[in-house]
Structure 1
Amino acid sequence: MDGWPALGLGVMPRDDDVQATPAERARWAAVEASFHDRPVTDLAQAWVEEELRVIEAAEAVKAWADAQGLAALRRLHEAVGMVVQEQADSISMYDDGVLSYAAVVAETTTAAVDEVALATGLPEGQVAARLELALNAEQRFTPLLEALTSGGVNLERSLRIAEAASALDPEVCRAVTLRLLAPITDGSVRSHRSFVRELRRQVAVHTPDPAKARADAVRRRCAYGWLEPDGAGRLTVTGEAGRVTAALDRVDGLARSLRSGGDARTLAQLRSDVALDLLLVGWASPDQVPEAARPTFAGEAPVARVNLVVALTTMLGLDDQPGEIPGHGFVPASVARSIATATGSVWRRLVTDPVEGTALELSTTRYRPTRRMAQQVAALDGICQAPGCTVPADRCDVDHEVGWPSGTTTVRNLKSRHRRHHNHKTRGTWKARPGPGGATRWTTVSGRDYLSHRFRYDDQLSRPVTAVDSEPPPF
């Protein structure tokens, strides 16, 4: 069938012996009919139905494949547990220390998650959610896994159900799952919005202790943010529902007051500016806020701190490399220059190796890492020195690359490691050994090797791609 023109060209094969799918026949007939001013609705509908069945079949195959992946993930977790337990027994034998059962379980879970995340590139949180579903504690997710295997539900919806219903009684969880998997009254699949609404209702109806569930949710409150490539950013704050809604109402009230007072910014822009002003300096544009709505604060406005890494050449306007706010992301050169030249900004010089682009260290042989040594190590590393991790170095543990006393307590032998990966190394789940140029060579539970490098302050990937000739070479 290769070579037949696409839809819109009135050329179709006439040979009845030509093998073609119903969809291809429908397409050819529809095109031919359109050239004779005949209605094509019936034929087009048949074509739509045929392609819709292909899409449904593809989704069912993906669901089945995801079910096989979950089964493999469960078995991988079991195998990792055997390694972790053996390492725990070895540590207790030689160090007279006993790793608790809870620690072994936690290490098994994080090591399994990290292994899969490194191999596939999937986010750790998503792998962890898949693992919880795969482990199927107390058989609470059995109907869900069966439906996934048969193509009756996709992985994304399965993970939503598992997360929302995980705190329910196992029997109730299974019953709620069957309700959510059942088709609606006309026999069709629930739409996404209908599914989300019903999921929330079922959880609300069946939560055994709403007060405890609320307390647990509030205990998990946090604030986090991330940067967009265009120079904007997002801030998310979770907390007690009353406080969140009260804060939103206050921000909205201040924004509306400014808007009614003649401020040219849109209401959406004002909500953003007011919320950030309140967080950064303690008040929202005090010269513009009406007296009745103006908040009062004691003391001076707090100082906000942003750590920004930007090349001197960019600051001098010689190039436009993006700046990096470690742990958050990149900002365009213009934004980096704006942050660095803001009133009160403090610059710290960092000398880098002209070839490697890594920070140069100062020698020291103190027995314990001093604060100055820790700062040097953080400057050298930039981020966690474990594969795939980007936690900022100043939030990591300072770890000996070669364990003390075999390894000395010097800046060259110290690395920044996120507590999670530090534990992998300490417990023997992951092996770490020095690599070339200050790198670390890691061996995970699977026996795979990964190389982590110290932070490159002069990274060629921060420079724009140069234009290349798109014409093919002559032959």
Structure 2
Amino acid sequence: MSENRGVGVHLDAARDQLLAERVAVAAKVVAAGRFALARMAELGHRCEDLIVDDWELVAAELGAELGISRGRACTLITQGRDLLTRLPAFAEVFGGGAVDLRVLRVILHRCALLTDPDIMTIVDAQLAADAPSWNALSDERVGELIDWMIVEVDAVAVRRARETRRRRHLSVAPVGDGMVEIYGVVDAAKGAVFDQGVEALARTVCPHDPRTHAQRRADAVDALALRATRIACLCGQQDCPAAGNEAPSGQFVIHVLAEQGTVAAAQGRPGQSGNTGAPAKTPRPALLPGYGPITIDQLADLLPAARIRPVPEAADLGAELGYQPSRKLADFVGCRDLTCRWPGCTMALARCDIDHTTPWPYGPTHPSNTKLYCRIQHLIKTFHCGPGGWNDHQHPDGTLTLTAPNGRTYTTKPDGALFFPQFTVATAELGAIDIPPPIPGRERAAPKRSRTRTQNRAYRIAHERALNRAAIAADPPPF
């Protein structure tokens, strides 16, 4: 009897830790939502029509503070905002640890089409009462229960059977061992090329196409199978600006990084060694940035069609005259950094820009003054810098210190040195450089949106509700 009680202590501890975990997660989500609402009000919503809008600026601050990616920061903001503004009664229950985060995700998704505040209040109260008993249920059953609530008060807001089609997407994601997953497993290099082809087709539509980017990628599979050069835009406009768009034809380029000994082994030649009597050193694997390591056998398959280009040594690089980095400098910076250098961002080098830390021409085009930023972070740094904005400082070894508008600092180090230690070498120290302050209101020169984020969300909700309304009219109850 006493032995059973002793074992039961561990069950009690596991239960208590689960509750503590739920409370902590809920506090994080709600804090992210409160920060987002307060910070966007502080910004005055002045950037809503820009590509880098208030939402992106808030996500950048939250992501840097938590050390998470832009996508995860946006998810936290969305969850916190919706809890505070749409589900206040359920938010109290969720904050007490009574409901798992998994259930919250299903709730937010299934309630996304509710637009009437009075109906939202009714559903909110029902969720607060019923959701604590749903933690042991599957996502599918939770979705069914939520739909049962919604169908009684707003049948048009139920996310219907075509949800299966709406979830369509084509994922190309690393799964380890030099492979990627595309509803199956293929060689990583072939997957990277396939990914680029799908991406190019998905971008042939105009900004008014109602599909998400993931859905356009899924629809691009048909175009690939038919060897088409574009996918049909669904904007419905007779003068669609994307009418003549085509995906670029020709070869796609992927980059594989490998040491000289690895390339030699893949070519069937013994690696170089200073001591010919010593046993041969096992070569390191090659690296396909964004997808992970690949084996020497896989590298050997790629070499016949590859162009081998040595990465220059840091000591061989100096200041360049123009704004655009040379190929040698771009190769060095790409191999040193591998990903976007913004805190928490893991965007691979193929989708990054080379940014001048101290803006050119005040700062030189030099390895100590250049690094990788993805497009969104590059726009933030370019148009939201200076006093009261973001500022970065680059050290000779590539370490980056970023100062947020709130004065907090974050440090990132180049990822290349994690795989290839030779990239830990420092380049030249440039010293302090005086630059004039940014022009006031500079952010208004940033690229603009055709529709604001709020307008896009309202458009998607209205579009889906209209489809539901048509489906109900075509097949009215009873059902």
CA distance in 2, matches of 1:362, 1:313: 27
Following superposition of structure 1 onto structure 2, how do residues 352-371 of structure 1 map, counting pairs within 5 Å?
352-353=313-314, 361=317, 363-366=319-322, 368-369=323-324
CA distance in 2, matches of 1:57, 1:100: 45
Note if contact 1:107-1:424 (Cα within 8 Å) is conserved in structure 2: no
Q: 1:396 offset after TM fit, Å?
A: 2.3
CA distance in 1, matches of 2:36, 2:69: 17
Matched, 1:430 2:390: yes
Partner of 2:76: 130
CA distance in 2, matches of 1:183, 1:209: 20
Q: Which 10-residue stretch deviates more, 424-433 or 164-173?
A: 164-173
Matched, 1:229 2:176: yes
CA distance in 1, matches of 2:106, 2:74: 13
Query: Once the two structures are aligned, what percentage of the paired residues are identical?
Result: 18
Partner of 1:421: 377
Instruction: Tell me the alpha carbon deviations over residues 108-129 of structure 1, each in whole angstroms, 9 at most, x when there is no partner.
Output: 4334434443444445433322
Partner of 2:288: 325
Stretches of structure 1 lacking an aligned partner (at least 5 in a row): 1-22, 29-46, 86-98, 248-276, 283-300, 355-359, 463-475
Partner of 2:310: 349
Instruction: Find the structure with the greater CA-based Rg.
Output: 1
Q: 1:157 offset after TM fit, Å?
A: 1.6
Q: Which 10-residue stretch deviates more, 66-75 or 407-416?
A: 407-416
Residue 157 to residue 412, structure 1, CA distance change in 2 (3 Å): same
Instruction: Tell me the alpha carbon deviations over residues 235-290 of structure 1, each in whole angstroms, 9 at most, x when there is no partner.
Output: 2685379969x97xxxxxxxxxxxxxxxxxxxxxxxxxxxxx9699x9xxxxxxxx
Partner of 2:93: 147
CA distance in 2, matches of 1:211, 1:195: 13
Q: 1:153 offset after TM fit, Å?
A: 0.9
Q: 1:106 offset after TM fit, Å?
A: 5.5
How many corresponding residue pairs?
349
Stretches of structure 2 lacking an aligned partner (at least 5 in a row): 184-197, 199-213, 230-248, 266-280, 423-479
* Cα RMSD (Å): 4.7
CA distance in 1, matches of 2:217, 2:350: 32
Residue 394 to residue 112, structure 1, CA distance change in 2 (3 Å): same
CA distance in 1, matches of 2:421, 2:147: 44
CA distance in 2, matches of 1:352, 1:374: 10
CA distance in 2, matches of 1:396, 1:149: 38
Matched, 1:239 2:215: yes
Give the secondary-structure state (helix, strand or coil) at the position aligned to 1:437: coil
CA distance in 1, matches of 2:408, 2:312: 34
CA distance in 1, matches of 2:343, 2:358: 17
CA distance in 2, matches of 1:126, 1:448: 20
Note if contact 1:361-1:380 (Cα within 8 Å) is conserved in structure 2: no
Give the secondary-structure state (helix, strand or coil) at the position aligned to 1:191: coil
CA distance in 2, matches of 1:422, 1:213: 40
CA distance in 2, matches of 1:315, 1:62: 48
Note if contact 2:178-2:291 (Cα within 8 Å) is conserved in structure 1: no
Q: 1:80 offset after TM fit, Å?
A: 4.2
CA distance in 2, matches of 1:173, 1:461: 56
CA distance in 2, matches of 1:364, 1:242: 43
Task: State the structure with bigger RCO (CA 8 A, min sep 6), 1 or 2.
Answer: 2
Following superposition of structure 1 onto structure 2, how do residues 35-434 of structure 1 map, counting pairs within 5 Å?
55-77=14-36, 80-81=39-40, 84=43, 100-102=46-48, 107-136=53-82, 139-169=85-115, 170-179=117-126, 183=130, 191-193=137-139, 194-199=141-146, 206=154, 208=156, 223-235=170-182, 238-239=214-215, 303=251, 305-317=253-265, 318-326=281-289, 328-341=290-303, 343-353=304-314, 361=317, 363-366=319-322, 368-369=323-324, 372=327, 375-376=330-331, 378=334, 381-409=337-365, 413-426=369-382, 427-428=384-385, 429-434=389-394
Q: Which 10-residue stretch deviates more, 147-156 or 199-208?
A: 199-208
Q: 1:102 offset after TM fit, Å?
A: 0.5
